Amino acid sequence: MLPRFVTKTIHAYLDYPVALGLLVMPFLLGLGEGNILAFWLSVATGAAALLLTVLTDHHLGLIRVLPYKLHLAVDGAVGVVFAAAPFALGFVGIEFWYYLVLGVTVLFVVGLHKPEASEVMA
């Protein structure tokens, strides 16, 4: 069993850089040359991730209306979609590896979530 050490606070600090990375990396890596969906999937997910982070009820959320558990569930869904996208959408080369590595990484980080005392009691 993996040690669960990614707290709500650590996760919050990861959210903004990850969202910005999803927005910027397709431009820097030239994603979309093989399949335009490889470009737009990252950009759209980055925009959605930024909005999700702004709306999440954690200390870096600006408008705290969405529960953190929902945020984690969305992150998990993104991880699954990203890990499956290279196979389902026929990505090759850098596009294949970009999504596969990001998808597995997101699932790994979500899996390392350390529940807070209030979450364990619920």
Residue 43: the pLDDT is: 98
Q: Is the pLDDT of residue 18 over 70?
A: yes
21: amino acid identity, one letter: G
- Say if residue 121's pLDDT is above 60: no
Q: Which residues contact 65 (CB under 8 A, 6 or more apart)?
A: 55, 57
Which amino acid appears at position 93 of this protein? G
CA distances from 27 to 10, 32, 59, 97 (A): 27, 9, 30, 16
pLDDT by residue (tens digit) across 45-92?
A: 999 999 999 999 999 999 999 999 999 999 999 999 999 999 999 999
Q: State the pLDDT at residue 114.
A: 83
pTM of the predicted structure, to 2 decimals:
0.91
CA pair distance 53, 1, nearest whole angstrom: 28
Q: Which helix (DSSP H) or strand (DSSP E) does residue 31 occupy?
A: none
CB proximity list for 118: less than 8 A, separation 6 or greater: none
Q: In this predicted structure, what is the pLDDT of residue 7? A: 86
Nearest Cα neighbor of 52 from 77, 76, 79, 71 is 71
Residue-level pLDDT at 117: 64
Q: How confident is the model at residue 107 (pLDDT cuts 50, 70, 90)?
A: very high
- Percent of the chain, pLDDT > 70? 93
Between residues 11 and 91, the one the model is more confident about: 91
Query: Measuring CA to CA, which residue among 2, 6, 24, 1 is closest to residue 71?
Result: 6
- As a whole number of angstroms, the distance between CA 14 and CA 5 comes to 14
